Structures are given as C-alpha cells and as structure tokens.
Amino acid sequence: MQVLFHGHSCVQLTAGQHSILIDPFIDANPKSVTRAEDVNVQFILLTHGHDDHSMDAITVAKRNAAPIIAIEELADHFSQQGVQTEMMHVGGTWSYPFGRVHVTQATHTSSIRTMDGQRVYAGVPVGFIIEMEGKVIYHAGDTGLFGDMRWIGQRFAIDIAFLPIGDRFTMGPDDALIAAEWLQARHVIPIHYETYPPIQQDGKRFVEKLGDLGIAGTAMEPGQTIEVH
C-alpha cells in the first residue's frame, strides 16, 4: 500500500487498482504541492464538513465519478450537489471495492458553510478505520483525546494512525502522544498542523517523542509518499 500525504489532513491511500482520498483540502491549502483536478481516486471519505476537510470534495468527486462516504447529514448535503454518496453512521462497518470501513466517534463539531456565510449542521464528526490490502489504517479526523481510543486500539490491530497535533482546534502533541499509546498503532503520522499560524507545531519533535515511547512515526511533507509493508 502507498500512502500519499497532500497536506493538512488530506491523505490518499492506494493499493493495486484502488485509490481513496480522505478529507480533500488541496487547492486552498498554502502547503499543497498538487491540484485537486489532478487527483485520481475511486472513493472519497469525509470525517466532517468543515472547509479544511471537504472543500475540494465536489471537484474530485465529479471529475472521478467517485462516491463520497460520509455521515448521513453530510452525505445528504453532497448528494444535493449532484454527487454520488454512501452514508454511514458511527459504529457501522461496510465493505467497498477497496476494502472495509468502520466509523468511529470523534470529539469535534461538523458544519458546512453556505454561499451566504451561514453554517448548516452536517451531522457528527467521525474518524475512520480502513482495512485495505491487509492493512489497518486509522484516520482520527479532527478530534480531542477521548477514552474510547483505548478500545479502538484493543479492537483493531492498527498499522498506521493519522493523528491531529495542531492544538487549539484539535488535540495537541501531548494528548496525541497519549492517543498513540492507547491506540497501539505500529506507526503514527501527525496531521492537522503547520497549515496556518494557529496550529503551528513541530512534527519532527513529535515523532522524536513517539520514539521515546517506542512508537515509530513519520512527519510527512505535502507530496511525500511512503510504502506500508
């Protein structure tokens, strides 16, 4: 499996003929090194509706005829924009051509900003456990630390966990270190940091602290890929 980091919380997973995209925020991301119109995927997963996680969802979905997998209210919103969707709910598991998706809780909010600046409720925020090519990937979405991360680590043998470390809007590095221990993931990749001044963090320092705990980690740069064996 190949992991491609597009920056912020946007991750692309590719295994064989299947490629999926999580939380597309590309064109408006000052750190991005690609364009949404150049991304080729078969499915899109959205953890919640905030702009910095869903802004390029329609562009990528329509160009690729790629369904969007999201919580019901968020899926309804994109369905009304003429995009094919697959709705799920927290605790649910479903099989897709690329593998299986299990929806976890996340402690955050979720809304869509309309053209007139209003905010529309977009269901609850979530995280995803993705089983693909024999690997288990956890994308936590935007979240603070919560106790059921212990259960997630017990329930799933996680190969890679994508954890936010930006602080202010999500958990910061200290809580993310606790999450990494609870999840027992083989490898941890920090996300949702450095994009803007309010969430400036030292990803490499975070990875060093993971190493002190005996946990492998990588602070990926936008455009960087790694292979998961």
What would the DSSP string read from start to end of 3-36? EEEEETTEEEEEETTEEEEES---TT-TT--S-G
So what's the pLDDT on residue 117?
83
Question: Within the chain, where are the H helices?
Answer: 51-54, 57-64, 72-79, 149-155, 173-183, 203-212
So what's the pLDDT on residue 219?
98
Contact 123, 159 (CB under 8 A): no
Domain ranges of the chain: 2-227
Assessment of whether the complete model's pTM goes beyond 0.95: yes
So what's the pLDDT on residue 114?
83
So what's the pLDDT on residue 115?
80
Contact 47, 126 (CB under 8 A): yes
Q: What is the pLDDT along the chain (229 residues), one digit of tens a residue?
A: 999 999 999 999 999 999 999 999 999 999 999 999 999 999 999 999 999 999 999 999 999 999 999 999 999 999 999 999 999 999 999 999 999 999 999 999 999 988 888 899 999 999 999 999 999 999 999 999 999 999 999 999 999 999 999 999 999 999 999 999 999 999 999 999 999 999 999 999 999 999 999 999 999 999 999 999 8
Contact 174, 149 (CB under 8 A): no
CA distance 129 to 187: 14
So what's the pLDDT on residue 173?
98
> Which CATH number fits the domain 2-227, given the four candidates 2.70.240.10, 3.90.1170.50, 3.60.15.10, 3.10.20.30?
3.60.15.10
Radius of gyration of the chain (CA): 16
160-164, strands of its sheet edge to edge: 93-96, 99-105, 126-132, 135-139, 160-164, 187-191, 216-217
CA distance 130 to 100: 6
Contact 187, 217 (CB under 8 A): yes
Question: Within 34-191, where are the H helices?
Answer: 51-54, 57-64, 72-79, 149-155, 173-183
Contact 199, 167 (CB under 8 A): yes
So what's the pLDDT on residue 92?
98
- E strand or H helix at 94: strand 93-96
CA distance 30 to 173: 22
Contact 173, 144 (CB under 8 A): no
